[in-house]
Amino acid sequence: MKRPNKKETSKPAEIRLNRFVANAGVCSRREADNLIAAGKIKVNGKVVSEMGYKVKKTDTVEYKGKKLKSETHQYVLLNKPRGFVTTTKDPHAKRTVMELVEKACEERIYPVGRLDKETTGLLLFTNDGETAKKLTHPSHKVKKIYQVELDKPITKADFDSILKGIELDDGPAVVNEMAVLGEDSKVLGVEIHIGRNRIVRRIFEHLGYEVKKLDRVMFASLTKKNLPRGKYRHLSPKEVMGLKGIK
């Protein structure tokens, strides 16, 4: 009996409808679920309200009578200035990072992780959900390097304590590498792989220091080279492949 050929038996690639709608730039994946549940999305002319419904590339998906098409993935790197909140929506924030990249592309992009309002440096934006998830999930241990300026010189005892690991309210905080950059011992370079909220500031505050300036100078394999404060650039194909190759 002849075995069926793999090419003959393989099914066309399918993706979840909510992901297709989100990739088309209409809204987030969670918001897409709400649109589907409300019966506002049509597939091949019929309303689909089933959660988890999958579509093929050959299917026609419509929202408000307009045919949707999956977007091209975009990757935008911003050198964030102080005073901007990392959020897509915040009615109380005067300035958000989205203002700084609003003209970067037609697609709807989102920040990967976050930097607090007073922290400067590298912030990546993309509409590639899979890569964004990989870059923020703790299991991938993505490298982040910060330049930290303290209100007073760090002591050798505190320096050693940080490298051994500090216990915070939400668990241990491990610094992978640290170096003193200034002669007065107030400026440090810190490499860290964990990404909890305000983690670098909290490590130093735990030991009685005030962080005067905090600048992220490296994220994954990306650096601030030739990227002025407040400006953005699109990643090169080589840089994108580097991010996608993170294990």
pLDDT on residue 19: 85
- Given the residues 33, 59, 90, 116, the one annotated as active site: 116
- Look up residue 14 and give its two tokens: 């399918």
Query: What global pTM score does this model have?
Result: 0.75
Element (H, E) at 30: helix 29-37
Superfamily of domain 13-67: RNA-binding S4 domain (3.10.290.10)
Share above pLDDT 70 across residues of the chain, in percent, rounded to a whole number = 95
pLDDT digits (tens, 9 = 90+) for 215-226: 999 999 999 999
Active site residue 116: yes
Distance CA 147, CA 179 (A): 10
Q: Which two tokens stand for residue 218?
A: 């490296």
Model pLDDT, residue 1: 44
pLDDT tens track for 49-107: 998 999 987 899 999 998 988 778 899 999 999 999 998 877 777 899 999 999 999 88
For domain 143-219, the CATH superfamily is: Alpha-L RNA-binding motif (3.30.70.1560)
Domain 13-67 and domain 143-219, same fold? Reply is no
